[in-house]
Amino acid sequence: MNRALSITVYFLTGVFFLLFLAYPIWHTLKEAFLTSDGNLTFAYFLEIFRNPIYREGLVNSFFMGLFTTLLCILIAIPLALIYNTWNFPGKGILNSLVIVPLILPPFVGALGIRQILGQSGALNSLLIDLGLMDSSTPVDWLGQGQLFGIVVMNALHLFPIAYLNVSAALANLDPALDEAAENLGCHGIRRFFRITLPLIMPGLFAGSTIIFIWAFTELGVPLIFDFGRVTSVQIFSGIKDLSGNPFPYALVIVMLLFTGGFYLLGKRFFGKNMELGGGRATSSSQVSDATGGMGILCTGIFVLVILVALLPHAGVVLLSISDTWYATVLPSSFTTQHYADALGHPLTLLSIGNSLKYASLATCLDLVLGVAIAWVVVRSKLPGRQILDTVAMMPLAIPGLVLAFGYLAMTREGQPFDFLIRSEDPMLILVIAYGVRRLPYVVRSAAAGFQQTSVSLEEAARNLGCPPWKSLFKISLPLISANLIAGALLAFSFAMLEVSDSLILAEQQQHFPITKAIYALVSSLGDGPNLASALGVWSMAFLAITIVGAGIMLGRKLGSLFRV
Amino acid sequence: MHFPVASPNLRNPTHECGHVSVSAFSLFPGALSATGSSPAMVSIHIRGLTKRFGDVVALDGIDLDIESGELFFLLGPSGCGKTTLLRAIAGFHKPDEGTIKFGDEDITKVPPYKRETAMMFQSYALWPHLNVQKNVAFGLEERSIPRAEVKRRVEQALAMVKMEGLGSRKIHELSGGQQQRVALARALVVRPRCLMLDEPLSNLDAKLRIEMRTEIRRICKEFGLTAIYVTHDQKEALSIADRMAILVDGNVAQVGTPEELYRKPKSELIAGFVGETNLIEGEIVFISGANVYVRTPVGEMVGRAVDEKWKPTIGEKATVSVRPECLSIHETPQAQNTIAGLLTESVYLGEIAQYSLMADGSIIPIRISELNPRRVLRNTEQTFYTSSSPEDVVILPSN
């Protein structure tokens, strides 16, 4: 049944992945392991490990990933436990607000945090005003621990991924498992470490993997913090050199090996798929009302975390409306001039238009591919459908930089795909790059939809004389439209804020997307940072609306979008 | 996969006392005396227990006494509050009113982890990240028992549920019946003051269910455990309970031994819930000694009033309850409790034949079960007659 259609879809999507997922990686491999005259060499690869600068970069990247992940877990677990144990004032709205930091670009937020934590920033000014710091010897929070600042920034951005995963894992747990421990005398923190934590490990691992890979390969935040001693920035700086330099490619391969290795290692130790034995869960989870002080405490913790996570972005908003902000807690004078200037600046308007164009085309591509793949994976009985699913989810585990590099290499002049950058316009390749990177969100949400929609609904339509492809359009797609919209919104918002591909593939000003425009403005003199903030605020407001919308539409299932 | 019950003489629960307690001590020497004392089983006393969920009253002032060493059943239709009551005794629900005592100790406000009960959950609640051995050892580790003794007691407990040698298995490698046994071992090994079983057999197939219920009774009796067993399956309750309580809408409707509840139900509801019965409404016309005569639309019926608190009077409305197996079927009118009618259904099941007899003036057929039928009556044109001894007919006050 539908076998021919399934095989066709399988084949076409397979070719797509070969061309735009496997081939770019292969191309990067080639550049890293072949000399200019085509001989195999490990010299570049080994040089990475010999060169102390590259080594330091790798170590720093590793710590950036590790500490970000740990910090995310530390923030997320208490929040998720509170959410699953108590009812407290404002629970619903706070639960959706918690995911807002995820969508606000950390790259933009970093602008704000510089303003807050810098030597003449808001925090120091506050401490001086309070008499806790000597104004002649301000602490340079970022200078002394730039990596620390980056980790905090990353964690405040990425902790919602851990929160969503842990929270979903807790919700899926049979409450009797905790009760059985309680019944046998195990209570409180002890019960959490002996029973609850091991049981939510798979969910925690799924979230942590994405966070680790994301942070390990993060490019935007270290760039804004001007911290060059991490691998991602070293790769990015490498392409400014002459095109013949093989080291960035070799670095990319090393990075890919590391992420793959961490992923497999983690999967081996924590990702064991534990099937719950016995029957279904029989008691519903016991969420009790937190009364009085306890309720206020729960609400307070949520509000505090959200406020701190939004602090960098609040800094951006202030920066965008500040006239002068130097060595004071708040800007000393305000202006709306930057918004006017931003709109007047040729770079900003153009970049907004470009980003909208690239991101919406990429979203369309994702919808077509995502629905087709999800349909084959959920509905068909093809033997290799799980492989297709795994491949479609791989972009979550492959650093954006790696792919961006592959695309750059395969579209060079003279390469078979150079037509994708026609007369210096990177539109086609950027649409494909964004599309591949954000495809997992659409595949996951469409698959979730198909799984919830009984196949007999389609069968009933077919039974009444409707051909398979038509029943898909008339029955299933309308039923899963909420999932599709949510997945598409996520794909779109993340595409709008894509950093790696945008920075690497868009080379001329008239083709810059928003992120590259912000990057260009930040590094320009004068009121550049203010203009960048104004542009950032515009995009943040826009994205906050989309993520809250997606959250409302998907509810708790939102967490499943961030699982490998 | 299922496990055969080890010893054939355990199959009949009425024989457990003599043989089994002896074999238990010989099979597991020291099983009961490891700490130098037998398990601290308790009697349980519940007074005025009330639990509300929002506007729903789940438990409505329950009074109940469960004796030490008793296998006590809570039976009732779904939503009657039986699981809520069990969870309240285990400490998972805080009652709004009332008290629970273990012996003389008021444990109403004691948190679950300090009550020293052990519960067997309907879903078994075996922890998938721990293997069989570690699941069973958990409660002992929480009680800071020395490692060597933990090991010994876990082995004993696994042997007791016939799972010896399977300690290193993962939970998901076990069949449903095996998981059930592990859950039982995990609860027993801590020597609880009270064992609680929440529909422990509902996930098993019919054959295994019969085997396991006998096993559970055997083990409870071996250890002299106070056990509370929740089920909606009356056969389970009738077959192995010492006593049982029927809960209806958060109230205890009747407490008694299985025979009492089956033979002497105090209300139509109990008569209909425990076993099958024919309920016929009518009016009391004559009383002679223990016999009460009731005029009904299908003829005059004679039976006994079983509730001592109720004194039937002539002219009072009453309901006749007569179980299908108490009625016999004949081709000629009989002396007592004879209902005339036409057969609307005949079902032959080998050991019994079931008939539906539609009496004149009735819209509900009378059900009759004939044990060891020598022939099946199928003639739908002929009038047949029932008969029953007055001892088997229960006269109930009309609601």
| Average of per-residue pLDDT values in chain B | 86
The backbone torsions φ and ψ at residue B38, rounded to the nearest 5 degrees and listed phi first, read -75, 165
Pair A329, A378 in one domain: no
Maximum Cα–Cα distance across chain B = 77
Pair A32, A50 in one domain: no
Per-residue pLDDT tens over the stretch A353-373: 888 888 889 999 999 999 999
Is B279 or A514 the better-scoring residue by pLDDT? B279
What pLDDT score does A275 carry? Answer: 43
* B230 interface with A at CB cutoff 8 Å: no
Residues in B closer than 8 angstroms to A183, CB to CB, are 90-91, 112-113, 115, 117-119
Pair A511, A549 in one domain: yes
Per-residue pLDDT tens over the stretch A389-416: 878 878 877 777 778 878 887 877 767 7
What pLDDT score does A487 carry? Answer: 79
What is the distance between the alpha carbons of residues A179 and A185, in angstroms, rounded to a whole number?
10
What pLDDT score does A423 carry? Answer: 64
Q: Provide the 3-class DSSP secondary structure of residue A540.
A: helix
Closest-CA distance of chain B to residue A194, Å: 10
- Look at residues A252, A188, A194 and name the one whose alpha carbon lies nearest to residue A219: A252
- Asked if the Cβ–Cβ distance from A183 to B87 is below 8 Å, we say no
Name the band, by pLDDT with cuts 50, 70 and 90, for residue A536: confident
- Asked if the Cβ–Cβ distance from B124 to A183 is below 8 Å, we say no
What is the distance between the alpha carbons of residues A450 and B124, in angstroms, rounded to a whole number?
31
Q: For residue B15, is pLDDT > 60? A: no
Which of A296, A311, A334 delimits the end of a domain?
A: A334
Q: Provide the 3-class DSSP secondary structure of residue B57.
A: strand
Out of A195, A198, A275, the one facing B172 most closely (by C-beta) is A275
Per-residue pLDDT tens over the stretch B298-344: 999 999 998 888 889 999 999 999 999 999 999 999 989 999 999 99
Q: For residue B133, is pLDDT > 90? A: yes
Give the residues across from A87 on adjacent strands: A289
Name the band, by pLDDT with cuts 50, 70 and 90, for residue B2: very low
Tokens of A176: 């009797």
- Look at residues B215, B112, B206 and name the one whose alpha carbon lies nearest to residue B163: B215
What pLDDT score does B96 carry? Answer: 93
Greatest mean pLDDT among A272-286, A322-336, A359-373 lies in A359-373
Question: Looking at residue B333, what DSSP letter applies?
Answer: -
The backbone torsions φ and ψ at residue A19, rounded to the nearest 5 degrees and listed phi first, read -75, -40
User: Quick check: B148 and B81 in contact, CB under 8 A?
Assistant: no
Q: What is the mean pLDDT of residues B69-87?
A: 92
Pair A406, A309 in one domain: no
Per-residue pLDDT tens over the stretch B91-112: 988 899 999 999 999 999 999 8
Q: What is the mean pLDDT of residues B3-30?
A: 38
Residue of A85, A87, A184 best to disrupt the B interface, most CBs of B under 10 A: A184
Residues in B closer than 8 angstroms to A276, CB to CB, are 128, 172
Q: For residue A351, is pLDDT > 80? A: yes
Name the band, by pLDDT with cuts 50, 70 and 90, for residue A554: low
* B286 interface with A at CB cutoff 8 Å: no
What is the distance between the alpha carbons of residues B128 and B135, in angstroms, rounded to a whole number?
9
Is A149 or B273 the better-scoring residue by pLDDT? B273
Pair A30, A49 in one domain: no
Q: Checking DSSP bridges between strand A322-324 and strand A333-334, what pairing results, if any?
A: antiparallel
Pair A11, A48 in one domain: no
What pLDDT score does B72 carry? Answer: 96
Closest-CA distance of chain B to residue A546, Å: 36
- A81-90, A280-289, A518-527: lowest mean pLDDT where? A280-289
What is the distance between the alpha carbons of residues B274 and B234, in angstroms, rounded to a whole number?
6
Pair A70, A177 in one domain: yes
* B202 interface with A at CB cutoff 8 Å: yes
Per-residue pLDDT tens over the stretch A458-515: 777 777 777 777 777 888 888 887 778 777 877 888 888 787 788 777 777 778 888 8
AA identity, residue A361: L
Number of Cα atoms under 13 Å in the Cβ half of residue A187: 12
Per-residue pLDDT tens over the stretch A59-71: 888 888 899 999 9
* B181 interface with A at CB cutoff 8 Å: no
| Average of per-residue pLDDT values in chain A | 79
Out of A187, A195, A277, the one facing B174 most closely (by C-beta) is A277
User: Quick check: B323 and B276 in contact, CB under 8 A?
Assistant: yes
Q: What angle do CA A422, A423, A425 make, to 5 degrees?
A: 70
Q: For residue A450, is pLDDT > 70? A: yes
* A195 interface with B at CB cutoff 8 Å: yes
Per-residue pLDDT tens over the stretch B148-200: 999 999 999 999 888 888 999 988 889 888 998 999 999 989 889 999 999 98
Which domain range does residue A533 map to? 1-41+336-564
* B132 interface with A at CB cutoff 8 Å: no
Residues in A closer than 8 angstroms to B163, CB to CB, are none
Q: For residue A432, is pLDDT > 80? A: yes
What pLDDT score does B340 carry? Answer: 92
Name the band, by pLDDT with cuts 50, 70 and 90, for residue A175: confident
What pLDDT score does A426 carry? Answer: 77
* Inter-CA distances, B93 with A81, A145, B51, B59, B88, Å: 20, 50, 8, 11, 5
Closest-CA distance of chain A to residue B132, Å: 12
What pLDDT score does B97 carry? Answer: 94
Name the band, by pLDDT with cuts 50, 70 and 90, for residue B44: very high
Name the band, by pLDDT with cuts 50, 70 and 90, for residue A206: confident
Which of A275, A303, A334 delimits the end of a domain?
A: A334
What pLDDT score does B330 carry? Answer: 93
Out of A183, A185, A198, the one facing B129 most closely (by C-beta) is A198
- Look at residues B129, B136, B130, B174 and name the one whose alpha carbon lies nearest to residue B155: B136
Task: Say which residues have a Cβ less than 8 Å from residue B320's Cβ, sequence separation at least 6.
Answer: B278, B279, B280, B281, B282, B294, B296, B301, B303, B393, B394, B395, B396
Q: Determine the residue of chain A that is closest to B139 in CA distance.
A: A184
| Residue appearing with tokens 């069989």 | B132
Residues in B closer than 8 angstroms to A200, CB to CB, are none
Pair A119, A222 in one domain: yes
Q: For residue B208, is pLDDT > 60? A: yes
| Residue appearing with tokens 């800094």 | A315
What is the distance between the alpha carbons of residues A138 and A128, in angstroms, rounded to a whole number?
8
Which of A277, A308, A334 delimits the end of a domain?
A: A334
- Interfacial A residues in 154-183 facing B (CB < 8 Å): 174, 176-177, 179-183
Number of domain units in chain A: 2
pLDDT > 90: percent of chain A: 5
Residues in A closer than 8 angstroms to B174, CB to CB, are 277
* Inter-CA distances, B119 with A461, B86, B179, B194, B196, Å: 49, 9, 14, 8, 4
Residues in A closer than 8 angstroms to B176, CB to CB, are 278-279
What pLDDT score does A481 carry? Answer: 79
Out of B130, B139, B179, the one facing A278 most closely (by C-beta) is B179
Q: What is the mean pLDDT of residues B134-157?
A: 92
* Inter-CA distances, B337 with B322, B327, B355, B376, B384, Å: 10, 9, 17, 22, 13
Pair A330, A453 in one domain: no
Residue of B121, B172, B180 best to disrupt the A interface, most CBs of A under 10 A: B121
What pLDDT score does B354 carry? Answer: 94
Pair A35, A58 in one domain: no
Pair A61, A31 in one domain: no
* Inter-CA distances, B31 with A352, B10, B145, B156, B157, Å: 77, 19, 15, 7, 9
* A270 interface with B at CB cutoff 8 Å: no
- Asked if the Cβ–Cβ distance from B129 to A274 is below 8 Å, we say yes
Q: What angle do CA B208, B211, B212 make, to 5 degrees?
A: 85
Per-residue pLDDT tens over the stretch A477-493: 888 877 787 778 778 88
What pLDDT score does A529 carry? Answer: 73
What is the distance between the alpha carbons of residues B306 and B391, in angstroms, rounded to a whole number?
10
- Asked if the Cβ–Cβ distance from B128 to A274 is below 8 Å, we say yes
Name the band, by pLDDT with cuts 50, 70 and 90, for residue A281: very low
What is the distance between the alpha carbons of residues A149 and A169, in angstroms, rounded to a whole number?
30
Out of A180, A278, A286, the one facing B119 most closely (by C-beta) is A180
C-alpha A548, offset from chain centre: 16
Q: What is the mean pLDDT of residues A77-97?
A: 84
What pLDDT score does B102 carry? Answer: 93
**CATH no. for residue A106?**
1.10.3720.10
What pLDDT score does A242 carry? Answer: 47
pLDDT > 90: percent of chain B: 59
- Asked if the Cβ–Cβ distance from A278 to B92 is below 8 Å, we say no
AA identity, residue B160: M
* A381 interface with B at CB cutoff 8 Å: no
Pair A14, A58 in one domain: no
AA identity, residue B104: D
Name the band, by pLDDT with cuts 50, 70 and 90, for residue A562: low
Closest-CA distance of chain B to residue A57, Å: 38
Is A255 or A547 the better-scoring residue by pLDDT? A255
* A465 interface with B at CB cutoff 8 Å: no
Q: How far apart are the first and last CA of chain A?
A: 30
Q: Determine the residue of chain B that is closest to A183 in CA distance.
A: B113
What is the distance between the alpha carbons of residues B110 and B108, in angstroms, rounded to a whole number?
6
